[in-house]
Structure 1
């Protein structure tokens, strides 16, 4: 997980090139994850429209090249996507080791309470999973973390590893790590929650990207600054946890 820093004095083009370089340096990893809206900044609402890109835009092109050069599966975080019909979406991009864009996820729960992202961007509607050779990813983004029903649906769709890029504010950092662990425990899944460092439009970011195993144990956690977390996951641990403590089988509501 690359907890990239967002510096308002760094141009988007420079940050894009730097992120691509950092991805290339992860050669030998299976999966690399970037945060939410790391190009424009999750709280830089005034930049959403001007910084929006199509799915085949410069960020997608740079990330596809980086994934191919590193030979990794790449969850490239999310971009401000401009749909050909006009609406904006907060859209995550997942690339295969060949550089192909294999999945996109449009954020379902938009933050802002009738302001900011909640007004400026449209809501996604689709659950998205990504089958990898080792595990199946379930995709969510930032504010989605507060809505457990989304993650239960992802697990029902086969997800074993929940990937959550975010631009989470520092003043709610305790919620960030608490909810990441809760989603892991209740769904008996790995959680990879990748945040940003730095400041988005004056809002200090929480950082503290965190990897949690299916039993709720923290495998690694970053600090506030830009940092890269490298974590070894054992895909068999998901199955073992669900078999040893089969709580998911006792569900009554939501079936």
Structure 2
């Protein structure tokens, strides 16, 4: 199965972000990718204003725009977006929370996975503005079962093992990872560890680092560190991007999963 990873930098405007996503999806599809994964927050970047003001359901213009394009190209697209969720009170304020969703769309499929583990760490509280999800999601592409996780989920090995037990041979991970001391080291370690935990292919699509290589290593909010990657079921890194916007196209062999699970039956 040929996959494409679109590493980009989304901005504050959902209309402009949709146009950017479409352009890059076309490029990845033109290189033969059948499953194309975009980052978390592809519809609107973190730290660019209130997420609830542009949040849309799966029948909104962002999701349907990607569905129409995926149908035209005959590909399956996974892309991060935000959906209206609920209203909560926090410190005397009324907050309209969203769901942090990975849209999965293409011929015969149009659904969303809502991020289960919100990023309440490093002095950041995603749960104040994002309602945690509760359900695992898998889907099929060319006879291969694909599981979905989002960013901070990657610190929770049980979710990846559960996806593998549900049949996932590939797990896609849209991400908007924070930069800072040891953050790239952690990212590389965690993606390899989750591949080994689940004996699955990990396809992680991250936001490019705002400011690129020049600001690499400096602390930031969860706006991207780049380094999208493909990790095989034995933990070997097969492809990795840098800090800048980039597209990766890579062939995955599902037989490698069967081989790994036979020799390393951790599940």
Which TM class, normalised by the smaller chain length?
Answer: 0.7 to 0.9
Contact 2:52-2:97 at 8 Å conserved across structures: no
Map of 1:199 onto structure 2: 210
Which stretches of structure 1, 4 residues or longer, exceed 3 Å deviation after superposition? 83-87, 113-116
RMSD: 2.1
Which 5+ residue runs of structure 1 have no aligned equivalent? Answer: 249-255
State the Cα distance separating 1:87 from its structure 2 match. 4.7
How many residues are aligned here?
Answer: 241
Q: Structure 1's 7 and 123: CA in aligned 2 closer, same or farther, altered over 3 A?
A: closer
Give TM-score scaled by structure 1 length: 0.87
Aligned: 1:183 with 2:186: no
Asked if the contact 2:97–2:128 (Cα under 8 Å) also holds between the matched residues in 1, the reply is no
In structure 1, the residue corresponding to 2:43 is in which secondary structure? Answer: coil
The alignment's TM-score, normalised by the length of structure 2, stands at 0.84
Runs of 5+ in structure 2 lacking a partner?
Answer: 88-95, 212-219
Which moved further from structure 2: 84-93 or 122-131? 84-93
Q: For the Cα contact (< 8 Å) 2:85–2:131, is it kept in 1?
A: no
Task: Find the aligned partners of 1:87 and 1:222 in 2 and give their Cα distance.
Answer: 32
Higher strand proportion (structure 1 or 2): 2
Q: How does 1:108-127 map to 2 (within 5 A)?
A: 108-113=116-121, 115-127=124-136
Match of 2:229 in 1: 210
Which of 143, 146, 164 is equivalent to 1:137? Answer: 146
SS at 2:128 equivalent: helix
> What secondary structure is seen at the aligned counterpart in 2 of 1:225?
coil
Alignment of 1:55 with 2:32, yes or no, is no
Q: Give runs of aligned pairs for residues 84-163 of structure 1, distance below 5 A.
A: 87-97=97-107, 100-101=109-110, 103-113=111-121, 115-163=124-172
Report the counterpart of residue 252 of structure 1 in structure 2. none
Picking from 29, 33, 37, the partner of 1:29 is: 33
Report if aligned partners of 1:6, 1:198 keep a CA contact under 8 Å in 2: no
